[in-house]
Copies of this chain bind each other. A is one copy, B any other.
Amino acid sequence: MRTITVLSGGHGGAKFIAGLLHGISAGSLPGVSPDVQVTVIANTADDLWIHGLKVCPDLDTVMYTLGRGLDHERGWGRTDETWSIKEELEAYDVPNTWFGLGDRDIATHLVRTQMLEAGYPLSQVTEALCRRWLEPLHGDRVRLLPMTDDRVETHVAVKDPDLAASPSGLKVVHFQEYWVRLRAGVPAEQVVFVGLDEASPGPGVLDAITDADLVILPPSNPVVSVGTILGVPGVREVLRATRAPIVGVSPIIGGHHVRGMAEQMLASIGVDATAAGVGLHYGARSAGGVLDGWLVDETDAGDVAALRTAGLRADAVPLWMSSDEATAAMAAAAIELVTR
């Protein structure tokens, strides 16, 4: 196996890929050569403009995690972060109260914004940023591709008490506002992917799926992370057509997400927040879906039968990413599931 492609969101996906790379280095993944090429196709529908800066939370979380620059205690942003700009914005009475922007992180956004404004597409900007973060540690063995160079934004409709008199009674907020400011504390009545239908896959995205020896859907949010990548026109088609086996790892364990707000998102699209529910939502390729195999946690072993009935290979193994070693073992089980 020479090429692996991963469709990733932020935190969960990044952590999984770190474990995957650990397994590759350790030689613990069945049939995977040590010089395997890993391509990460990352969700960009969480991206937002804040204080005039283009922020790409999922791209940055993957980049910082794999480049050993992520603050793991916080779970986002940079190590050794400083907060002078945050203090100053408060002094100017234009605080960003809900979205944390550290000084070091802002430098990334400044470089990105300046390149975008000079006319470079996000894919080239990401490649330039990765020269710092990925090349020194991973050479050319790891590539990070935005799912699209086009602007796509996930918005979430929530009940708004102030608008009770309005026809819908809803207000729409950017996904980041729903997640970071509202802490996903109210039901997502509807999730809208602005621009997704008209987006084109980023350079290399379709080829990375077509030419892969294996495609992995890591434990990322099935609606707002992996779901948006699948929604980029053309992506589903190449997933259905690729000769590579496609295996997914459940982000739901025992009926709950490990981190994030997959439960709220799944509710908004009427999908059961269970390991089987998500696997069946993706569906077996043999039945028009995008998966060949679906790995669930041992807690959810009872879901395996239903998944197999639906045409999926399925197994139950421990899915807690408590260390790179534990995550590498998950990756090995996922690979084993679809290549044995």
Interface residue ranges, A against B (CB under 8 Å): 51-53, 81-82, 84-85, 87-89, 91-94, 102-104, 106-108, 110-111, 113-114, 117, 129, 131-132
Contact = CB atoms under 8 A, between A and B. Distances in A.
B108 A88 contact: yes
30 contacts: A51-B110, A51-B111, A51-B114, A52-B110, A52-B117, A53-B110, A81-B84, A82-B82, A82-B84, A82-B103, A84-B84, A84-B102, A84-B103, A84-B107, A85-B106, A85-B107, A85-B110, A87-B104, A88-B104, A88-B108, A89-B107, A89-B110, A91-B132, A92-B108, A92-B129, A92-B132, A93-B131, A93-B132, A94-B111, A106-B106
A84 B111 contact: no
Identical chains in the assembly:
2
A113 B106 CA distance: 14
A284 B104 CA distance: 53
A110, A111, A113, A117 pick with most chain B CB within 10 angstroms: A110
The 10 lowest CB-CB distance pairs between A and B, nearest first, are A88-B107, A84-B103, A52-B114, A85-B107, A82-B84, A103-B103, A84-B104, A88-B104, A82-B82, A92-B111
